[in-house]
């Protein structure tokens, strides 16, 4: 069978996560690094006929000028996270991807994000409908030019503020508003989701921005025969919460309070320094404890931008819990993770898994991807182990259906 290539379209293509994805794919394609950090390299996912690394073609949107390779080099100059030899070895990949980048949209992205945009063809004033059409045609042109079997769009752009107005539950009520930026309640991430669906591409939201979260948009994915999943990659502190909170629940220990302080210094941290953008992230990090424990302990999540830390995020968590005879005890942990290094392999995993599901005709919400997200679509189960079991069940079913088709 001829090898078929898939597209990975990154919204926020010049950011830390995106440039680490591009660097990582180049290294994985050459076979110079082991696939550590990739869930899809584990059994049973590795035997599902997922797209090979060299067959993933990357393109994307961003709103800032500057060369991709210079953005990628920040992972060394500012964070000492990816060594220059690994970045230099990906130079050809950066040149190829750079040629496929297109100016994104800042319509309804909020003041903080608008302030990041450079004058590189990013339209500052356009109707939501015009933005959707422009983004749709960029994605469709990419798929046609590269002869791609399917394109998965992954949102790795800066976190937006929450929409100021409610989003109607029925798309028929949203559609007439798309011609008027002042009346349309959809933020930029949702316009990208609509454009992806219209282009026949699947849409994954790795951020806490709205994206395809409104029910009206999720339903549209199925109507267009494409898949969607989200929201907000679960890579660090929240991953630990979803592992540790089930333990307290299973041992019948009462969590009285859970405090998490996060400090980091990359551009994501700078954007989250704006209280409106920060509120979106805090909501996404804070809701799962009550879901897991069945009651709401006192919680506090803080996120502070500390420039010198670059891409290295430190989370210090203090968990105050009560045991037998009412005795109070404490768990504290310190997580020091390199944000983009944790996130990038998951973005590659999501692209490969969504493409595989699409090949089998699955569309709409892929709820079995819950373990990748802080706020998974259509899944109330927040325990990481239970969510991972959903992914394994999907892999088993996919393996069985492909062996019975042979």
Contacts to ligand NAD by CB under 6 A: 11-12, 14-18, 61-64, 104-106, 109, 113, 116, 156-159, 188, 206-207, 232-233, 235, 266-268, 271, 339-340, 342-343
Closest CB to ligand NAD among 242 and 398? 242
| Percent helix / strand / coil, the chain, rounded to 5 | 50, 20, 35
Please state the closest distance from residue 61 (CB atom) to ligand NAD, in A: 5
Give the CB-nearest residue to ligand NAD.
Answer: 15
Closest CB to ligand NAD among 16 and 297? 16
Please state the closest distance from residue 69 (CB atom) to ligand NAD, in A: 14
Exposure b/e, 79-99, CB count within 10 A at least 16 = b: bebbeeebbebbeebbeebee
Closest CB to ligand NAD among 159 and 398? 159
Please state the closest distance from residue 109 (CB atom) to ligand NAD, in A: 4
Q: Which of 89, 104, 92, 99 is nearest to 15 (CA)?
A: 104
Q: Is 207 within 8 Å of 284 (Cβ atoms)?
A: no
Please state the closest distance from residue 15 (CB atom) to ligand NAD, in A: 2
Please state the closest distance from residue 294 (CB atom) to ligand NAD, in A: 26
Please state the closest distance from residue 151 (CB atom) to ligand NAD, in A: 16
Closest CB to ligand NAD among 187 and 246? 187
* CA of residue 249 relative to chain centroid, distance: 28
The terminus-to-terminus CA distance of the chain in angstroms comes to 14
Please state the closest distance from residue 405 (CB atom) to ligand NAD, in A: 36
Closest CB to ligand NAD among 159 and 383? 159
Q: Taking the CA atoms of the chain, what radius of gyration do you get in angstroms?
A: 21
Closest CB to ligand NAD among 232 and 349? 232
Tell whether the torsion through CA atoms of 54, 57, 63 and 64 is positive or negative.
positive
Q: How far apart are CA 304 and CA 343, in angstroms?
A: 19
Q: Which of 177, 172, 152 is nearest to 223 (CA)?
A: 172
* CA of residue 46 relative to chain centroid, distance: 22
Closest CB to ligand NAD among 115 and 298? 115
């Amino acid at each position: 069978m001829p090898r078929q290539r898939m597209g990975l379209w990154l919204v926020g293509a010049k950011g830390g996560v995106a440039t680490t994805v591009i660097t990582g794919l180049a290294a994985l394609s050459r076979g110079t690094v082991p696939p550590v950090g990739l869930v899809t390299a584990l059994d049973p996912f590795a035997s599902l006929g997922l797209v090979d690394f060299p067959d993933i073609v990357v393109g994307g949107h961003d709103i800032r000028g500057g060369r991709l390779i210079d953005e990628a080099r920040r992972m060394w100059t500012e964070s000492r996270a990816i060594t220059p030899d690994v970045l230099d070895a990906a130079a050809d990949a950066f040149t190829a991807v750079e040629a496929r980048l297109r100016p994104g949209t800042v319509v309804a992205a909020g003041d903080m994000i608008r302030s990041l945009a450079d004058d590189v063809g990013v339209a500052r004033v356009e109707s939501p409908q015009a933005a959707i059409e422009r983004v749709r045609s960029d994605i469709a042109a990419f798929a046609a030019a590269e002869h791609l079997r399917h394109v998965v769009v992954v949102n790795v752009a800066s976190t937006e503020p929450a929409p100021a107005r409610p989003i109607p539950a029925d798309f028929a009520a949203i559609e007439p508003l798309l011609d008027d930026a002042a009346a349309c309640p959809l933020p930029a991430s949702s316009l990208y989701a609509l454009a992806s669906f219209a282009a026949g591409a699947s849409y994954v939201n790795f951020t806490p921005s709205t994206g395809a979260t409104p029910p009206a948009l999720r339903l549209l994915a199925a109507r267009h025969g494409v898949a969607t999943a989200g929201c907000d990659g679960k890579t660090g502190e929240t991953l630990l919460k979803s592992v540790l909170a089930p333990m307290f629940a299973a041992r019948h220990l009462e969590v009285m309070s859970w405090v998490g302080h996060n400090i980091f210094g990359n551009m994501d941290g700078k954007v989250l320094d704006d209280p409106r953008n920060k509120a979106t992230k805090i909501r996404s990090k804070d809701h799962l404890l009550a879901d897991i424990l069945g009651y709401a302990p006192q919680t506090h999540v803080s996120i502070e931008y500390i420039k010198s830390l670059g891409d290295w995020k430190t989370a210090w968590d203090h968990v105050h819990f009560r045991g037998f005879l009412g005795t109070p005890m404490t768990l504290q942990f310190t997580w020091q993770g390199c944000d983009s290094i944790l996130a990038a392999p998951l973005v590659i995993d999501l692209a490969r898994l969504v493409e595989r599901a699409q090949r089998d005709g699955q569309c709409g919400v892929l709820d079995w991807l819950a373990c990748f997200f802080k706020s998974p679509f259509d899944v109330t189960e927040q325990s990481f182990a239970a969510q991972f079991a959903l992914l394994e069940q999907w892999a088993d079913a996919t393996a069985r259906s492909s062996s019975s088709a042979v």
